[in-house]
């Protein structure tokens, strides 16, 4: 059976088959698509098709599955956060969203809000909720695709006083030293922190 070569949710296979006009040839070549189509119909693959499945197709399916899972998790997070309304994400996840530390696989998402204190879990992520009286003067930006609110880089540093996350603070300083004026608009205000740069053990951040 094909599952010996690629143990994947058959729902994903079906989605690919139903969206041929989008998938082919942008993501999958016509011959690769035909292999997926045969899998959906539970047809036996020939040896050449099995080689396709073990090679490029397998890599592409893993990537597509990962992207879909991330999108679903983000949708769940967005739905939950919208129910809070007055919030924004800070910490390493906000840094990653802002284009710095794109390689982080954050396990904990820190959320500043005015309603809830504690932790909840969405898929493999821990959502740490930090309650404050007001976020009126906090700087945040809204992602145009997900509509999730994220702290600006300057705000992330200020929030470490609330989260007490010294790892985030140290990474922030490293980003400041590396990117300087492109990292924050008011570089003069923070440049004195560059003298306090330490080596970072990125394994502590899920990398």
**Same domain flag for 187 and 107:** yes
For the chain, what is the domain count? 2
Peptide bond into 25 cis (omega under 30): yes
**The pLDDT value given to residue 179:** 87
pLDDT of residue 105: 78
pLDDT of residue 2: 37
- Same domain, yes or no: 130 and 200: yes
DSSP H/E element including 66: helix 56-84
Is the pTM for the entire model greater than 0.75?
Answer: no
Q: Are 5 and 54 in contact (CB under 8 A)?
A: yes
| Average pLDDT per 10 consecutive residues for the chain, totaling 207 residues | 46 77 77 82 80 76 71 80 90 92 82 93 89 94 90 95 91 87 83 65 50
Residue-number span of the structural domain to which 160 is assigned: 85-205
Q: Say if residue 132 is in the same domain as residue 185.
A: yes
pLDDT at site 199: 54
Determine the pLDDT at residue 203: 54
């Amino acid at each position: 059976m094909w599952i010996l070569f690629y143990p994947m949710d058959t729902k994903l296979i079906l989605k690919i088959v139903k969206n041929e006009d989008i998938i082919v040839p942008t993501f999958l070549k016509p011959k690769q698509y035909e292999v997926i189509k045969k899998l959906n119909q539970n047809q036996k693959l020939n040896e050449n098709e099995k080689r396709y499945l073990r090679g490029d197709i397998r890599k592409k399916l893993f990537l597509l599955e990962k992207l879909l899972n991330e999108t679903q998790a983000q949708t769940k997070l967005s739905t939950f956060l919208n129910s809070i309304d007055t919030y924004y994400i800070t910490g390493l996840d906000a840094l990653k969203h802002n284009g710095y530390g794109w390689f982080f696989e954050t396990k904990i998402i820190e959320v500043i809000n005015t309603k809830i204190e504690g932790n909840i879990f969405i898929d493999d992520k821990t959502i740490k909720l930090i309650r404050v009286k007001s976020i009126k003067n906090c700087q945040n930006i809204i992602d145009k695709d997900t509509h999730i609110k994220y702290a600006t880089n300057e705000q992330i540093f200020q929030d470490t006083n609330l989260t007490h996350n010294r790892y985030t603070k140290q990474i922030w300083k490293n980003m400041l030293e590396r990117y300087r004026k492109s990292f924050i608009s008011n570089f003069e205000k923070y440049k004195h922190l560059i003298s306090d740069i330490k080596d970072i053990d990125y394994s502590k951040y899920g990398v």
